[in-house]
């Protein structure tokens, strides 16, 4: 954990999740998930989200989708992927409360993480959400930086990032580093008290 920061998991009511690398397998650097057939939900993610739903926490996806700006897939393609994702989760009794997407390229907007526009929009749409009762969960330095800019606790999911410079930076800055979303949910947020 970063410094003396302690996350009060009992107080966390809103989870902000990056998509690629947290919910689904992240493609290799420079590649994009362009259609549903390439979308591979990570093991245990649906069950973890269902557990969060049962605990009455809100699950909100905030995702950079630069592939739209690059012309690799359209906003409609992305909407279809997310509709399929919601259907797949529903089979397991899980749901996403919202999905916020930045379709822009780097430097074109205030919503492309590490900018904070996506999370700020969610705070407007969910008026009871604020940095003290929310957490940012992501697999990149950009995700962690976005959360920190708003004063949110952060969790770095380092399943595929390995020992890259970005991963090392994220590990240093994040409040907690774990291997997966299910680990966070089952061992910290919804952990059974003995």
List Cβ neighbours of 26 (8 Å cut-off, separation of 6 or more).
Answer: 20, 139, 160
Ranges of residues in the chain with a pLDDT under 70 are: 1-5, 160-163, 192-194
Report the distance separating Cα 173 and Cα 182, nearest Å: 21
Q: Give the class (CATH, top level) of 9-189.
A: alpha beta
Give residue 3's pLDDT. 42
Give residue 48's pLDDT. 98
Report the distance separating Cα 185 and Cα 17, nearest Å: 12
Give residue 164's pLDDT. 77
Residues assigned a catalytic role: 18, 20
Domain-wise residue ranges, the chain: 9-189
Give residue 162's pLDDT. 61
Instruction: Tell me the pTM.
Output: 0.94
């Amino acid at each position: 954990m970063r410094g003396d920061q302690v996350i009060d998991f009992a107080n966390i009511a809103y989870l902000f999740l990056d998509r690629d690398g947290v919910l689904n397998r992240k493609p290799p650097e420079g590649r994009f998930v362009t259609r549903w057939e390439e979308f591979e939900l990570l093991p245990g993610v649906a069950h973890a989200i269902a557990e969060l739903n049962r605990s009455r926490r809100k699950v909100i996806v905030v995702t950079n989708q630069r592939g739209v700006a690059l012309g690799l897939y359209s906003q409609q393609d992305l909407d279809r992927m997310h509709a399929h994702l919601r259907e797949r989760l529903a089979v397991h009794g899980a749901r996403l409360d919202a999905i916020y997407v930045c379709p822009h390229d780097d430097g074109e907007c205030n919503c492309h993480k590490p900018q904070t526009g996506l999370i700020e929009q969610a705070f407007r749409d969910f008026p009871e959400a604020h940095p003290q009762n929310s957490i940012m969960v992501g697999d990149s330095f950009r995700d962690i930086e976005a959360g920190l800019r708003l004063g949110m606790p952060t969790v770095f999911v380092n399943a595929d990032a390995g020992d890259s410079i970005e991963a090392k930076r994220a590990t240093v800055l994040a409040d907690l580093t774990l291997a997966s979303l299910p680990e966070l949910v089952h061992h910290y947020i919804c952990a059974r008290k003995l």
